[in-house]
Chains A and B, each alone.
Chain A
């Protein structure tokens, strides 16, 4: 037996079959979020979908916990998942007093929302040999609920439906050939009517990043949309054969606009990340042309999977600033129906919801030099810096981790403010010509070596700002030594919660930014944060647990506490007011 084989066998013995415990007391649990709750602005008693509601505000309408009493917030209960490799990166859901969340290896837990008592737990058997060869693995970033099921994707390319009441598998559909593509699913699915929709991983991975529409009841695949060259028009924007290895995964969940029956989804960057075509990128380099529909927001018909319209945020993205990050915040303002979307580059795009026409573009972060600016009327990139082989001078801003990371911001309909975390850092970069590696399985296609450095205006750092989502006008800002990498929660109690990188959860006054409460969870946050009601009482739930690929950068950038911070553990921490 070679060492490699021994290792694989060792891992296989760790694989655990589903373990199921059923509590007979919970027979009355509704198994489906109400449509009205999904379409509302605020999540009320439940947190029924990844972004809170389809409006994607990450906003709770609960106000038992508020600016007056938040100082009395304390830990109600905790839950520790098994095998939290790369921490916990998921956003929990809550339905009728039950909290559901996923951990690494797509393990799923259903817990009594008031006590934390386990109702059921599920652990799929994964292809452990494949997992050991994966880079963006084995974390899972979230789940969806609908049709009496709970849905979770796996890194080995499957979408699994579990019975919401019992946690027993209902169906298990293989959607991707992950052994060949190397990547699978880490992002949360989205339930839309009779379908469950999920996007594959992969920007720097040479494939075509499909998004799938699957029938909730049966698990049958109904449609597949290729984000790379998925239409005739798009095929023309990839020189030669480059569409075959284009990247472009839709690895974070988008949302749904019921008024127009449209699914909004963001797509990843093309591969290789860094293109040596320089100013001649339309004709030369590894992927000549605009590379549709990478680094784009796309609008799909959920029934057919057909493209309705799109906007490519960065045509021919040569910097790895993809559009798959972030939520689609649906705002009605001055008779206009708008949607606000954060791009990894640090720019925020505001669109007309009926056609993805640009209404405004504004920068959230200061250190941006991959373009001079973006035209706020047309979205056109002005003064773009297309890179050639060799050292890039001056260094590129922001760094590869982006001006904005993949976790979500929040919007309060109460005061009209949008809360988003921005990152200030740059990197030295040397572009190198590479050839995609496809055999025997796909490998990262980066096309450069790089090194993080502080931006010209100060240390590498992060900030939370409260702004008008349409104009970008800033009301207040809080600065952090290290960028927080978790999602943000706004509540009707006039609070904004920020779980930070060092492990502290902060609660701020939503109008002023004044810090009103904080608590140390003991390890960095890399996940979502939600609020829900159980037994008439409001809870705040936040997974602690460190270890995303961006988090990995913090050791070299900041040293302690990250040098000593474990990346293979985590806990779900749930807070409530002291009795």
Chain B
């Protein structure tokens, strides 16, 4: 499923103002009129920071603030679409593809975490 980038962008914008619980509520409650995807996840799964520390921090150092095996992600000039695409598709021999692993809701939570990073 494709995520309209408008939604991603607005989510990213409001992210710093939202608590994790509020975010989870919003995405699960989004329902029919909002195309936000299967965020059936527990608050745990949808915690972008925690997911990052579980899996992504292995390559994106200092929580994404510093280049390591993978590039620095904080203050990225890449578009939301690009970032979501990269997380979903990965890159052979460099980064795993998470499209079949994380729900779109989880990926958006990670994107929101990345957008909220200071250097």
Binding site for B on A (CB under 8 A): 2-4, 7, 11, 85-86, 104, 129, 131-135, 138, 204, 272, 428, 430, 432-437, 440-441, 443-452, 547, 549, 552-553, 555-556, 567-568
Contacts and interface: CB of A to CB of B under 8 A. Distances in A.
A132 B92 contact: yes
A237 B22 CA distance: 39
Query: What is the predominant secondary structure among interface residues of chain A facing chain B?
Result: loop
Nearest to A7: B89
B52 interface: yes
Nearest to A434: B54
Interface stretch (B4-12, B27-35, B55-63): B55-63
B42 to A, nearest CB: 9
Interface residues on B, range: 35 or more
Contact of B97 (A132, A435, A440): A132
Contacts of B54: 272, 434-437, 443-447
A451 B100 contact: no
A452 B61 contact: yes
A443 B55 CA distance: 7
Given A443-B101, A446-B53, A449-B53, A133 B63 contact: no
B44 interface: yes
Interface of B: 1-2, 44-45, 49-55, 57-59, 61-64, 66-70, 85, 88-90, 92-94, 96-101
Contacts of B57: 446, 448-450
Counting from the closest, the 5 A-B pairs by CB-CB distance are A552-B69, A85-B93, A432-B53, A449-B57, A449-B63
Contacts of B63: 430, 449
A530 B101 CA distance: 40
Given A4-B89, A432-B53, 4 more contacts: A452-B68, A549-B69, A556-B67, A556-B68
B55 A451 contact: no
Contacts, number: 109
Contacts of A272: 54
Nearest to A135: B96
Name, among A132, A436, A440, the residue most crowded by chain B CB atoms within 10 Å (CB to CB): A132
A428 B62 CA distance: 8
A555 B67 contact: yes
Given A3-B85, A3-B89, A567-B94, A434 B53 contact: yes
Nearest to A131: B92
A133 B90 contact: yes
B66 to A, nearest CB: 5
A446 B55 contact: yes
Contacts of B94: 567
Nearest to B85: A3
Contacts of A556: 61, 66-69
A4 B62 contact: no
A567 B93 contact: yes
Nearest to B90: A132
A132 B93 CA distance: 8
A480 to B, nearest CB: 20
Nearest to B95: A135
